[in-house]
Amino acid sequence: MLKKEDKLGQKIEPGIIDLVTALNCLGFETVSSCEGHPERGGTFYPEVIIMTKKGENDKIQDCWHRNLMMHKNLIKLLQEFYKNRDIEYQHMLITSIISNAGTELRPHSGYLTKILTDKTERNNLHNIYTNEIKDFTDFLKKQL
């Protein structure tokens, strides 16, 4: 049965659940995600947060190591995905380290969406992001 909640107990949204599932099947531990909401104010890009959960007997260094290995593996997948792909740099998916060596997977220009106020521009950009997420998800499914 497909789990429809993340590790924070939040519902996984339909626009990102396939990506979360593919990442989980490939060994990435996801803790939260969002499909992006251009109709709301502020930032609206889709994203997935990847981070290991500290086990009872884990040392913090072990968690950091697992997180950094997932980050490294995600970089390899993104590199392969973009090898022959023609898309504007600003719309590419990237991975960046966040707190506790976790990883954020998001569009490169995602944070810039905070300053966009035009609804048409927001919706158009969200469609580009959504298509990129879908194509990356399809790529990941082929890796299974």
DSSP string computed for 7-64: TTSPBPPTTTHHHHHHHHHTT--EEEEE---TTSSS----EEEE-PPPPTT--HHHHH
Q: pTM here?
A: 0.92
What's the confidence (pLDDT) of residue 116?
92
The residue ranges of the chain whose pLDDT is under 50 are 1
What's the confidence (pLDDT) of residue 57?
86
